Amino acid sequence: MAEARATRINGVFARWLERRRERRLEQVNMSGTDYLLSLPQRWVRIYMPLSVIVFVLLFPFYWMAITAIKPDEQLVNFGEVNPYWVVGPTLKHIKHLLFDTPYMHWMWNTMFIAMVATVLSLIASVLAAYAIVRLRYRGAQWVGGAIFLAYLVPTSILFIPLSLIVVKYGLWDTPWALILTYPTILIPFSTWLLMGYFKTIPFELEECALIDGASRWQILTKIVLPLAGPGLISAGIFCFTLCWNEFIYALTFLSSPAKKTVPVAILSEMVDGDVYRWGALMAGALFGSIPVALVYMFFVNHYVSAMTGAVKE
């Protein structure tokens, strides 16, 4: 009995050792010649510079967060309490932000505009990418190139003439001014991304469907789209964060405070005269980042592959 258990434990132990050896081997393979570095060398060459850079990249977020919960006197008096820390944190600034300003309303505006613009852009991009990659109509390659060029046209040279167009179409100071102009930023990017995805879907699948009498529309909705799910998610996330980030169109095309998006409203509506309410401002900046940060957290791999994939194309 005891013997059997001992052999079983031995077996488990042996398997564990084997797995560990495999993992070691894998690590050596993954990191090339890194095993040649001793541990102190790794500290000096890798961990220390890396932690300095990561510290600098993250510090502003820490500073926003700690400012948002500091009592007023600690905000402007660094003498008594170390400013890197907080004694007696308060929710006063957050309460002011949420209940004394139309902050939730601005969040809703931004969310609505970002969602609708994303959906519109995705529909247009799916159709365009499918047509360029699979219908290959005459001149499709040229159109593909033109769409890439459109991605390079910056918003800061378009906002002046666009503001005239927006006024002329009667869209001034309505969310539709942004919903209809944002797709020009989003479509080129997501079309390129989806073109890459559609190219990876085997041609033979479509051939079979065509022979069975499916129309192009049926092929797109029943075969291609279900297979391009990850691509759609990547494009959607990227579009959403781009909309949430956009500033110059929102600043130029909207004027009534109640209609503004979060980035514009925080900058123009949260400063009373010359008084900066730093606590509430930082809370607003932090909360305004949360929706994109959440979306990003759940789909970080999609996001990174969208970013790098589109660059590699």
Partner 1 sequence: MAQAATASVTSDSDYGLWSRLKQNRNWLGFWYMLPAAGFLILFLAYPLGLGIWLSMTDAKIGRPGVFVGLENFTWLWDDSVFWLSVFNTLLYTVVASVIKFAIGLYLAILLNNHLPFKAFIRAIVLLPFIVPTVLSAIAFLWIFDPQFSIISWTLRSMGLISANIDFLGDPWHARISVIGANIWRGVPFVAITLLAGLQTVSPSLYEAATIDGANRWQMFRHITYPLLTPIIAVVMTFSVLFTFTDFQLIWAITRGGPVNATHLMATLSYQRAILGGYLGEGAAISTAMIPFLLVAILISWFGLQRRKWQQGEANG
List the interface residues with partner 1, window 121-160 (CB under 8 A): 121, 123-125, 127-128, 130-132, 134-138, 140, 143, 147, 150, 152-160
Amino acid in position 286: L
Decide: is 273 part of the binding site for partner 1 (CB under 8 A). Answer: no
Decide: is 81 part of the binding site for partner 1 (CB under 8 A). Answer: no
Instruction: Say whether 275 sits in a helix, a strand or coil.
Output: strand
Decide: is 252 part of the binding site for partner 1 (CB under 8 A). Answer: yes
Decide: is 23 part of the binding site for partner 1 (CB under 8 A). Answer: no
Decide: is 29 part of the binding site for partner 1 (CB under 8 A). Answer: yes
Tell me how far apart the alpha carbons of residues 228 and 220 are, in angstroms, rounded to a whole number: 10
Count helices and strands in the chain by DSSP H and E runs: 17, 2
User: How many chain residues interact with partner 1 (CB under 8 A)?
Assistant: 107
Decide: is 225 part of the binding site for partner 1 (CB under 8 A). Answer: no
Residues whose CB falls within 8 Å of the CB of residue 144, separated by 6 or more in sequence, listed in order: 132, 195
Beta strand residue intervals within the chain, DSSP E: 271-272, 275-276
The residue range among 22-30, 88-96, 97-105, 225-233 that interacts with partner 1, by the rule CB under 8 A, is: 22-30
Nearer to partner 1, 1 or 152 (CB): 152
Min separation Cβ 86 and partner 1, Å? 13
* Binds partner 1 by CB under 8 A, chosen from 187, 224, 228, 239: 187
Decide: is 293 part of the binding site for partner 1 (CB under 8 A). Answer: yes
Decide: is 84 part of the binding site for partner 1 (CB under 8 A). Answer: yes
Using CB under 8 A as the criterion, what x/- string covers residues 38-77 for binding partner 1? Answer: ----x---x--xx--xx-xxx-xx-xx--x-------xx-
Tell me how far apart the alpha carbons of residues 249 and 160 are, in angstroms, rounded to a whole number: 9
The residue range among 6-14, 92-100, 184-192, 228-236 that interacts with partner 1, by the rule CB under 8 A, is: 184-192
Fill in the DSSP letter of residue 270.
S
In the Cβ-directed half-sphere of 22, how many Cα atoms lie within 13 Å?
6
Instruction: Say whether 294 sits in a helix, a strand or coil.
Output: helix
In terms of Cβ atoms closer than 10 Å to its own Cβ (0-12, 13-18, 19+), residue 217 is exposed
